């Protein structure tokens, strides 16, 4: 089955959502996309994972507010606002499918969004394309990337970010303030204490890097850290298929 619908967030904005897969399954997985993308996730990573899971469980993919086809201002995008979007989607899923077990699959900044929300009652959580636990490191790398593409960084005004897709993204000051003022390590430790978390860290991540700071994930009790071949978006066909197989095995175990 496949349904396209709108889920309202706490501000009354409509989040464009797709629910698809095996409605008879006891399991449901909510996808949380990264920064500047949508429910397909970059090079269609989420769309392909959802397609691979179609016969096994139910998938929920949504555009965060200000992204994709959802309502909301791009300039108001922030990780905390997106975390509240995720909360609204989880509440919708619980109301519509009260007997199903909820799982989450998050990529890149979606992992931060999920960690900040720190939701209760989620069984399995899968993180791919993880950021540094020190978000100021991610902010520095993003600033350098924007400037290298001829963009403008104004942390007190409007940042202009030319994306590789040809789109020009505009960011407000709330986005930068959150990146530089949030420590997610303690939150992630709390989340790992109540949900089963597995991290798939691509070994050739050209976006967030591959430095020693990622070893901090290995210190978090209850979190499983797995290094896998691939770049940030697992753009290589073999790498992506390997990731999808591991995700499917983990969710269906």
**Is residue 215 domain-resident?**
yes
User: What is the model's pLDDT at position 209?
Assistant: 86
pLDDT exceeds 90 at position 25: yes
Q: What mean pLDDT do residues 8-33 have?
A: 97
Cα separation, 89 vs 81, whole angstroms: 13
**Is residue 69 domain-resident?**
yes
More confident residue, 183 or 24: 24
Q: What mean pLDDT do residues 181-204 have?
A: 93
The reply to whether the predicted model has a pTM over 0.85 is yes
Q: Which residue's structure tokens are 């709108």? A: 6
Question: Among residues of the chain, what percentage have pLDDT more than 70?
Answer: 100
164 secondary structure, DSSP code = T
User: What is the model's pLDDT at position 23?
Assistant: 94
**Is residue 141 domain-resident?**
no
pLDDT exceeds 80 at position 183: no
Cite the DSSP H helix spans in the chain: 45-53, 79-96, 109-117, 135-148, 173-181, 185-192, 237-252
**Is residue 162 domain-resident?**
no
CA angle 46/54/14 to nearest 5° reads 55
Domain of 57 in residue numbering reads as: 2-134+183-252
Q: Which residue's structure tokens are 């591991």? A: 246
**Is residue 178 domain-resident?**
no
- CA within 13 Å, CB half, 202: 25
pLDDT exceeds 90 at position 135: no
Strand pairing category for 14-21 and 58-62: antiparallel
User: What is the model's pLDDT at position 181?
Assistant: 66
Confidence of residue 236 (pLDDT cuts 50, 70, 90): very high
Confidence of residue 43 (pLDDT cuts 50, 70, 90): confident
Do residues 15 and 2 touch, judged by C-beta distance below 8 A?
Answer: no
**Is residue 40 domain-resident?**
yes
**Is residue 151 domain-resident?**
no
Centre a 10 Å sphere on the Cβ of residue 243 and count the other Cβ atoms it contains. Answer: 22
**pLDDT tens, 58-106?**
999 999 999 999 999 999 999 999 999 999 999 999 999 999 999 999 9
Cα separation, 251 vs 46, whole angstroms: 15
Q: What mean pLDDT do residues 15-34 have?
A: 97
Helices and strands, counts by H and E, the chain: 7, 10
**pLDDT tens, 138-153?**
888 899 999 999 999 9
User: What is the model's pLDDT at position 179?
Assistant: 82
Q: How many domains does the chain have?
A: 1
Nearest Cα neighbor of 232 from 195, 193, 200, 206 is 206
Q: How far apart are the first and last CA of the chain?
A: 23
Nearest Cα neighbor of 30 from 106, 119, 111 is 106
Do residues 70 and 13 touch, judged by C-beta distance below 8 A?
Answer: yes
Task: For the chain, give the mean pLDDT.
Answer: 94
- Concatenated DSSP letters for 42-73? TTTHHHHHHHHHTTTSEEEEEPPTTSTTS-S-
Cα separation, 247 vs 200, whole angstroms: 9
Cα separation, 242 vs 115, whole angstroms: 25
Cα separation, 13 vs 67, whole angstroms: 12
**Is residue 159 domain-resident?**
no
User: What is the model's pLDDT at position 64?
Assistant: 97
CATH of the domain at 188: 3.40.50.1820
């Amino acid at each position: 089955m496949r349904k396209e619908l709108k889920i309202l967030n706490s501000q009354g904005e409509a989040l464009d959502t797709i629910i698809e897969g095996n409605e008879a399954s006891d399991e449901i997985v909510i996808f949380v996309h990264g920064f500047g993308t949508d429910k397909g996730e970059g090079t269609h990573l989420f769309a392909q994972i959802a397609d691979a899971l179609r016969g096994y469980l139910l998938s929920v993919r949504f555009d965060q507010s200000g992204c994709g086809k959802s309502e909301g201002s791009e300039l108001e995008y922030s990780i905390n606002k997106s975390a509240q979007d995720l909360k609204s989607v989880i509440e919708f899923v619980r109301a519509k499918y009260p007997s199903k077990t909820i799982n989450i699959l998050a990529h890149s900044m979606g992992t931060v969004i999920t960690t900040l929300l720190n939701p209760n009652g989620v069984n399995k959580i899968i993180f791919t394309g993880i950021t540094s636990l020190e978000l100021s490191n991610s902010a520095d790398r993003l600033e350098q990337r924007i400037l290298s593409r001829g963009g403008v960084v104004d942390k007190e005004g409007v940042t202009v970010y030319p994306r590789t897709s040809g789109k020009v993204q505009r960011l407000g000051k709330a986005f930068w303030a959150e990146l530089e003022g949030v420590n997610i390590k303690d939150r992630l430790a709390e989340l790992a204490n109540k949900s089963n978390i597995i991290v798939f860290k691509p070994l050739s991540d050209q976006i967030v890097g591959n430095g020693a700071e990622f070893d901090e994930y290995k210190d978090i009790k209850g979190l499983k850290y797995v290094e896998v071949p691939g770049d940030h978006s697992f753009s290589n066909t073999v790498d992506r298929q390997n990731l999808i197989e591991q995700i499917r095995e983990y969710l269906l175990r």
